[in-house]
């Protein structure tokens, strides 16, 4: 690979370079691509940090709650970390072609989280307890999120069979991001909401059949 070639050349240059003679990396298509990959790898963490900072800021401005930002963004971050682990396991390096995968995954995944959270908050604001609100959110918005996530995942999964390595790699990574962002929105985000919604904040007032309607004394998703 280019990384191996660059490492070998740099090692050779360090061993034989003198004040009068210096060996430098060649240019050409391979040299330019190698230099680009090095810069992309250096900037990867910064770019990821900026993407998530913007997402968190937008969530804070929209919902005016740090709890909402945590519930929506944390599942996305977990998926991003798992995606990078998958890239390492499959030997897919971070380069210009693969760098947008994280941004695309975050862009799609944030929609899932916002849809589920917004519906969950809708029922909580009307006095439902977290369990009933989650169940009703799954019956309505959850179905749409599940259908969308599976449709996108199955669609890009067909790229895996492409003879073009770049397209095959994108098929694997995008399928993983789309499906796991969906799972995070449907399972992890409500679990975080339950964790952040402390029992002391909820005062049960009446039992109606199998449903216990609650009044949120201190709204768990209100202003922090």
What does the pLDDT read at residue 76?
A: 87
Residue 34 lies in a domain: no
- So what's the pLDDT on residue 3? 67
- What pLDDT tens digit does each residue of the chain (224 aa) get? 666 776 777 676 777 677 777 766 666 666 777 777 777 777 777 888 888 898 899 888 888 888 888 888 888 888 888 888 888 888 877 777 777 777 788 888 888 888 888 888 888 888 888 888 888 888 888 888 989 889 988 998 998 898 888 888 888 888 998 899 899 888 888 888 888 754 433 333 334 333 433 333 334 444 44
24 within a domain of the structure (yes/no): no
| Domain membership flag for residue 84 | yes
- Long-range pairs, 142-151, Cβ under 8 A, ≥24: 142/116, 142/186, 144/115, 145/112, 145/115, 145/116, 145/182, 145/185, 145/186, 146/182, 146/186, 148/112, 148/182, 149/112, 149/178, 149/179, 149/181, 149/182, 149/183, 150/179, 150/182
Task: Locate 165 and state its tokens.
Answer: 């390595």
Q: How many domains does the chain have?
A: 1
| Sign (positive or negative) of CA dihedral 51, 55, 58, 64 | negative
User: pLDDT value at position 1?
Assistant: 66
Distance CA 5, CA 7 (A): 5
| Structural domain contains residue 181 | yes
pLDDT of residue 108: 81
pTM: 0.70
In a domain, 17, yes or no: no
Q: What single string gives the DSSP state of each residue in 134-191?
A: HHHHIIIIIHHHHHHHHHHHHHHHGGGG-SSHHHHHHHHHHHHHHHHHHHIIIIIHHH
Residue 197 lies in a domain: yes
Range of the domain at 89: 65-216
Domain of 208: which CATH number?
1.20.1640.10
**Three-class SS of residue 215?**
strand
Do the domain assignments include residue 92? Answer: yes
In a domain, 167, yes or no: yes
Predicted pLDDT at 59: 87
């Amino acid at each position: 690979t280019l990384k191996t070639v660059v490492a070998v050349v740099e090692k050779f240059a360090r061993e034989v370079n003198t004040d009068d003679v210096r060996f430098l990396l060649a240019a050409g298509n391979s040299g330019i691509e190698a230099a680009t990959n090095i810069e992309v790898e250096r900037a990867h963490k910064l770019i990821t940090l900026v993407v998530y900072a913007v997402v968190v800021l937008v969530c804070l401005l929209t919902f005016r709650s740090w709890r909402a930002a945590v519930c929506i963004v944390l599942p996305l971050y977990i998926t991003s970390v798992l995606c990078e682990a998958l890239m390492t396991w499959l030997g897919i390096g971070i380069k210009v072609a693969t760098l947008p995968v994280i941004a695309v995954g975050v862009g799609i995944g944030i929609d899932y989280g916002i849809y589920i959270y917004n519906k969950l908050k809708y029922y909580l604001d009307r006095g439902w307890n977290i369990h009933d609100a989650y169940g009703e959110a799954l019956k309505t918005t959850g179905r749409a999120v599940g259908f969308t996530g599976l449709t996108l995942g199955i669609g890009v999964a067909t790229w895996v069979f492409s003879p073009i390595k770049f397209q095959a790699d994108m098929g694997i990574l995008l399928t993983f991001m789309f499906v796991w962002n969906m799972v995070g929105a449907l399972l992890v985000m409500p679990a975080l909401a339950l964790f952040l919604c402390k029992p002391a904040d909820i005062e049960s007032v009446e039992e109606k059949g199998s449903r216990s309607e609650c009044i949120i004394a201190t709204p768990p998703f209100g202003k922090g």
